[in-house]
Amino acid sequence: MCNCNWRLGCTLTAVITAVIAGVVAAFLQILGIVTVTTAFVLGALGVGVVYLAVGVLAAAGLRRADTRPCCLCRNLNTLLVGVLGTILASLILLAVGITATSIATAILVGLVLFFLWLTVAASACFIRCAADCD
């Protein structure tokens, strides 16, 4: 029996910091202080695809394990949302095009950064849980 006590500490922290990063990125993009290039969006897309591939391989390896901490599924769900959101938001931003002072572009940049940071932070939570430090 697992003893998680429904704690969401790491996952909640990951989501809150991702929201902050997304809002700041959108704000800086709309002001023109930071400009996002196609290379950055392609890099974010690449990170998402690599994380998805590694996640599939890791899930296959974890499936064979007899004992799993209960927090793995919760952290894996957050990680998958981040990865799939990064891929989808990056593809949409590439399809729409990057305009320096467009509100739609700023929102999409904020979404890409939100999901990208959520991917990174959720992977840290996932590793922490896999190491049984949760």
Pairwise CA distance, residues 34 & 38, whole Å: 13
- Report whether 125 contacts 75 (CB < 8 A): yes
What is the dihedral sign for C-alpha 15, 21, 22, 24? positive
* pTM attached to this predicted model: 0.83
Instruction: For 90-119, write each residue's pLDDT tens digit.
Output: 999 889 888 777 888 889 999 999 999 999
Pairwise CA distance, residues 42 & 46, whole Å: 6
Instruction: For 32-77, write each residue's pLDDT tens digit.
Output: 888 888 899 999 999 999 988 887 787 777 666 555 556 677 778 8
Angle (nearest 5°) at CA 14 between 103 and 35: 30
Number of domains in the chain: 1
Instruction: Retrieve residue 130's tokens.
Output: 């896999």
- 6 in a domain, yes or no? no
- 91 in a domain, yes or no? yes
Structural domain boundaries enclosing 91: 11-58+70-130
- 4 in a domain, yes or no? no
Pairwise CA distance, residues 115 & 78, whole Å: 10
